[in-house]
Chains A and B, each alone.
Chain A
Amino acid sequence: MPMKDEFKPKIVAFCCNWCSYAGADLAGSSRLTYPADVKIIRVPCSCRVNPMFILRAFEKGADGVILCGCHPGDCHYSTGNYYARRRMTLLFSMLDYLGVENGRTRVEWVSAAEGVKFSQTMNEFVEKIHSLGKNVRLEDLRCRKE
């Protein structure tokens, strides 16, 4: 039985509709488990994800945020993930610069056929967040319930 004070991380996964969301669906239909801490938000493309969304998640108490999109070259909109890649690289670099543990953010390219990869990625990511523990550096303290 889980201990009462066991750390249950909050993890937001942004998935593009065409590849990664379908990959997550495939993980589901293949019954490939990953922790329930991961909650998926469907976006049309990885390029729809505004850094504001990621910071907002952290502000509201997320412990990890992962963005999944089509593999470079396979974007449904042909170029969206290339823009996302630059944006996220810079954002993650800035978070690292501010002293935020860089394992809390991740980008992974997951195709619609990669149910296994989706599940593996989520398992790894949750494990990483467990090793980092609660996010205290990015949270808005006023949003805490206690």
Chain B
Amino acid sequence: MQEGMKNGCAGAPAVLLERISTLLAEGTVARVLGWKAGDMAYNPEPAYFETQEALKDFVYDGFCGANLSKYMIEASKLEGKTLVCLKPCDTYSFNQLLKEHRVDREKAYIIGVGCGGKLDVEQIRRKGIKGIQSIDGAQLVWEESDPGTELKGIGDDVLTIRTIYGEKTLPYGEALLERCHVCKGKEHRVYDELIGQSRDTKDADRFAQVERIEAMSPEEKFAFFQQELSKCIRCNACRNVCPACSCRKCVFDSNKFDSSQKANADSFEEKMFHIIRAFHVAGRCTDCGECSRVCPQGIPLHLFNRKFIKDINELYGTYQAGENAEDKMPLTSFDFGDAEPGIVGERG
């Protein structure tokens, strides 16, 4: 464990840092794509590291939720291999990008890093903890000798949060990102080597939220989404972070559909953007949850994508984007006996 990290950040497990450092020193990789400390303890940010010296800022802790696979699009164009740290769920995104020829497998050295669930500072705030100064307990403890060892159960881990109102504690499991409660599993789908242990964090049904909305009356559904989407400021954070939204130029930024971005208003504008965005990533979205994580307005954007995933599973057979790089995608394939669009009304 490194001491004295910037902004009280927890640093990275030594075993990971050492291995990265070695690969960089040997010249196996030209650079490292990881996370560095942000301005607060809870917001480390994606960063490149090109020297061993620079690695002193390298962080991998409970707050490193950012999915780095999308950065590999640009990294694939650089000279030499890029070492990228991917959590199990990030590897789905990488596979999907691989399928779409957006990243170069040969240019990537993937370290599959263990994941015990990632933390959400907004969730901590929602628990009534305000004025956060620093958070302890987000660091990862990996057994060097035996990578197979299970980590301690989530229930045992506690975050200690220092605030301007004094010290508060919160169980780790209560501060997780929504996506971690419905985790797809801790198996890395693509990697060169694995470091660290993972632990299961799934304790909720992935489609429960979608089902709750489906059960509403049309008026309630409309009111719910109207309220959520009225918060949208069209900052495009969801689009920019999304590994499936990897177009060189978004249709909402081009003149191809006369649909260039307009100012926010209480209108259909946002719905159109979010429906089309969800549609464009339908069958390609791995449900990584980055859109909801980065939305500054706290809009549960994953509800759009997950609705499509649920529909695809129910209508065309269970499909998980990014599980491998070979399967035919649901919207570029069909079955002669597919349901008719009228099924939407019939299902109620």
Contacts and interface: CB of A to CB of B under 8 A. Distances in A.
Q: CB–CB under 8 A between A and B in the complex?
A: yes
Nearest to A87: B331
A83 B269 contact: no
Contacts of B222: 98-100, 137
A79 B334 contact: yes
A9 to B, nearest CB: 17
A144 B66 CA distance: 42
Interface in A45-86: 50-52, 55-56, 58-59, 72-73, 79, 82-83, 85-86
A110 interface: no
Given A59-B272, A85-B338, A141-B266, A99 B279 contact: no
B207 to A, nearest CB: 12
Given A88-B341, A139-B268, A99 B219 contact: yes
B268 A58 contact: yes
B165 interface: no
A139 B269 CA distance: 9
Interface centre among A55, A88, A101 (most CB of B within 10 A): A55
A126 B305 CA distance: 32
A52 B258 CA distance: 10
A93 interface: yes
Contact of B311 (A79, A90, A99, A137): A90
B267 A89 contact: no
Interface residues of A, number: 40
Interface string B303-333: 0100110011001100000000000001110
B344 A98 contact: no
A86 B331 contact: yes
B314 to A, nearest CB: 10
Taking each of A79, A85, A91, A98, which has the highest tally of chain B beta carbons within 10 Å of its own beta carbon?
Answer: A98
A83 B331 contact: yes
B220 A99 contact: yes
B339 A82 contact: no
Nearest to B303: A97
Contact of A89 (B269, B275, B336, B340): B340
A90 B281 CA distance: 12
Given A85-B341, A93-B307, A138 B271 contact: yes
Given A91-B279, A94-B275, A83 B334 contact: yes
A52 B259 contact: yes
B65 to A, nearest CB: 26
A106 B335 CA distance: 20
Contact of A98 (B221, B259, B335): B221
Given A99-B225, A102-B345, A137-B222, A85 B267 contact: no
A140 interface: yes
A89 B311 CA distance: 9
A85 to B, nearest CB: 6
7 contacts: A50-B257, A55-B271, A89-B344, A96-B344, A98-B222, A100-B218, A107-B341
Given A93-B311, A106-B341, A107-B341, 17 more contacts: A56-B259, A59-B268, A86-B330, A86-B338, A87-B279, A90-B311, A93-B344, A94-B304, A94-B307, A96-B218, A97-B213, A97-B214, A99-B220, A99-B226, A102-B345, A107-B342, A138-B271
